[in-house]
Amino acid sequence: MAQDVLDYFLHALGALFRMRRIYPPGSKQVYQSAKQAHQRLVEWGRSVRITFLGQDIILEDRRIDPIPISFQALFQSLQQLGFESVQIEADADTGDLMDWVEHVVSKDRTPYQGQKIVAGSMNLEKRASPQSVMTRAITGYLGFLAEAQGILSDLESKKPEGIVRAREVVCTIVARLAIGRELFEPIRDLKNFEDYTFTHALNVCVLSSALARALRVSDEMVNTIAMAGLCHDLGKKEVPKEILNDKGALQPEDRRLMERHPFFGAQLLLEIPGVESTYPLLPVVAYQHHMGSNQSGYPKVQNRMLQYSLHFASLLVAVADVYDALRTVRPYRPAMTVAKAATILIRDALAGKLNKEYVSSFLLLLNVLSAGRWVVLSDGRRGMIVETQTGRPLCPMIGDEQGRVLDLSLPSAPTIWEVEEDGASNPREIPAGQQAQL
């Protein structure tokens, strides 16, 4: 079996490491062990990715349990060096394997960048030649997108390995977000993918985990929220595509079916072995993410639950979900700009549909309400943000067109009602109908 061949390679790799710790580099014993490992790699015939998640080893897309005794010493050394992933190309030769093992034995903590082997922090995409930041970001994003498509397909088929793959991808995404904002650029600029379901799931995963980090929740909860974001819309599998892609207003019957997708998603997740015991939050978020902070959304419950009964992760994922849906091309409308999407988030927060604190933190994360941005206030006045207040992006200092400075944190102050586009400067009136909605 193919899996057996891959397991044999793992054993041979561990044996090579043990031999090198006993014998000097270039010795016959080390060479023979490297040759054996190379032979196993040739028999496998494809590249190999080994990922280390806590005490787990993921070989390609499969969790290895128990960890072979022959591999444990190498595994422990890689953990101590802080390595999270090893990518070995299919054409790596005996010398490549020996060079990499030499790096590990030397206890060098720097990432390893060989011709055919890369090891260090997790990275799903293959090494590439130098590229622009945006090109590199898009390449990385598309790599995650391909992974997300495979994961969601596995989960829709109720395969338990889908959860393992989801955990691997999520840990990688969270690690990347801890380093910088590179993954945000494609989400900001690539809005017209053919398959909305997969791109939306990936985007909500990335945005939710970034928001969770900004809110300083624990690392483990960040990973769980990211997984919940990835899986939040699985229930749409049960909704016909003609309804999902309808270009007009849905008929009442179709609307009722669409609003059942949170229930379908929670049900599907609960039927995947291991989810209820290991990741009980996933079906909760899938079920609750459209309920709304004030429970004005769906699914409807006969007697409204107290607000604290909605899990905070559901309210957090809801913010990312709404934002990405607004920013993406849909059959019934074009993609909205960042400013228009931010305006809707603010209005939904003021109406109680979205959690105001999470919307506030999300806009701070996206740097939407920064100094110099023009906004329209709920009383119809127009002004420019002159100073933001730490931790309160919805309550900045505003300079209006008459030269007065308004502190929106005061109880009697108006609220931001509309965010204008970048570069806006000409006065304009907010439609009266919009003012009346407040």
pLDDT at 429: 42
Q: What is the DSSP string of 79-104?
A: HHTT--EEEE-TT--HHHHHHHHHHH
Q: 62 in a domain, yes or no?
A: yes
Q: What is the 3-state secondary structure (H, E, C) of 321-380?
A: HHHHHHHCCECCECCCCHHHHHHHHHHHHHCCCCCHHHHHHHHHHHCCCCCCCEEEECCC
| 368 and 280 in a common domain | no
Domain-ending residue, one of 283, 318, 335: 335
Q: Give me 346's structure tokens.
A: 């603010």
pLDDT at 124: 38
Best-predicted range by mean pLDDT (2-6, 118-122, 182-186): 2-6
**192, pLDDT greater than 70:** no
* 250-288: pLDDT as tens digits: 888 888 889 999 999 999 989 888 788 888 999 999 999
| 354 and 325 in a common domain | no
Rounded to whole angstroms, the Cα distance separating 143 from 126 reads 9
Of residues 181, 211, 177, the one with CA closest to residue 357: 211
pLDDT at 209: 87
pLDDT at 431: 39
| Residue numbers of the domain that contains 280 | 133-335
pLDDT at 98: 95
Q: Which amino acid is at 113?
A: Q
Q: Which amino acid is at 273?
A: P
| 53 and 149 in a common domain | no
366 or 424, higher pLDDT: 366
pLDDT confidence bin for 427, thresholds 50/70/90 = very low
**3, pLDDT greater than 80:** no
Q: 331 in a domain, yes or no?
A: yes
pLDDT at 308: 52
Q: Among 51-60, 144-153, 424-433, whose mean pLDDT is lowest?
A: 424-433
For the chain, the residue count is 438
Chain-centroid distance, C-alpha 378: 34
Residue 382, C-beta contacts closer than 8 angstroms, at least 6 positions apart? 374, 375, 376, 400, 401, 427, 428, 430
Partners of 345 in beta bridges: none
Of residues 119, 111, 113, the one with CA closest to residue 51: 119
Query: For 382, which DSSP code?
Result: E
Residue 24, C-beta contacts closer than 8 angstroms, at least 6 positions apart? 30
Chain-centroid distance, C-alpha 259: 24
CB–CB of 3/62 below 8 Å? yes
Of residues 430, 382, 391, the one with CA closest to residue 409: 391
129 or 75, higher pLDDT: 75
* Angle, CA of 286, 287 and 288, to the nearest 5°: 100
pLDDT at 91: 92
* 20-60: pLDDT as tens digits: 999 998 899 999 999 999 999 999 998 888 877 656 677 76
Q: What is the DSSP string of 103-172?
A: HHHTT--SPEE-SSEEEES---SPP-----HHHHHHHHHHHHHHHHHHHHHHHHTT-THHHHHHHHHHHH
CB–CB of 146/114 below 8 Å? no
Q: Give me 250's structure tokens.
A: 């849905």
| 110 and 54 in a common domain | yes
Q: 126 in a domain, yes or no?
A: no
**117, pLDDT greater than 80:** yes
**200, pLDDT greater than 60:** yes
Q: Among 68-77, 183-192, 374-383, 424-433, whose mean pLDDT is lowest?
A: 424-433
Q: 32 in a domain, yes or no?
A: yes
pLDDT at 126: 39
* 286-299: pLDDT as tens digits: 999 999 998 889 89
| 347 and 328 in a common domain | no
| 229 and 91 in a common domain | no
Strand residue runs (E) in 271-331: none
Domain-ending residue, one of 120, 141, 161: 120
CB–CB of 64/74 below 8 Å? no
CB–CB of 387/341 below 8 Å? no
| 155 and 71 in a common domain | no
Q: 127 in a domain, yes or no?
A: no
CB–CB of 233/197 below 8 Å? yes
Q: 304 in a domain, yes or no?
A: yes
* Angle, CA of 31, 34 and 37, to the nearest 5°: 155
- Across the chain, what does the average pLDDT equal? 80
pLDDT confidence bin for 139, thresholds 50/70/90 = low
pLDDT at 118: 85
Q: Which amino acid is at 41?
A: L
Q: 343 in a domain, yes or no?
A: yes
| 282 and 327 in a common domain | yes
| 317 and 220 in a common domain | yes
pLDDT confidence bin for 186, thresholds 50/70/90 = low
pLDDT at 128: 39
pLDDT at 56: 67
**What is the domain count for the chain?**
3
CB–CB of 166/231 below 8 Å? yes
Q: Give me 240's structure tokens.
A: 């016909």
Residue matched to tokens 């899996």: 3
Q: Which amino acid is at 264?
A: F
Rounded to whole angstroms, the Cα distance separating 15 from 117 reads 18
* 169-178: pLDDT as tens digits: 777 777 666 5
Give mean pLDDT, residues 179-203.
60
Q: 165 in a domain, yes or no?
A: yes
Give mean pLDDT, residues 154-172.
76
pLDDT at 355: 93
| 307 and 173 in a common domain | yes
Rounded to whole angstroms, the Cα distance separating 289 from 253 reads 21
pLDDT confidence bin for 133, thresholds 50/70/90 = very low
Domain-ending residue, one of 63, 88, 120: 120
* Angle, CA of 286, 288 and 291, to the nearest 5°: 135
| 321 and 186 in a common domain | yes
| 313 and 170 in a common domain | yes
Residue 13, C-beta contacts closer than 8 angstroms, at least 6 positions apart? 37, 71, 74, 97
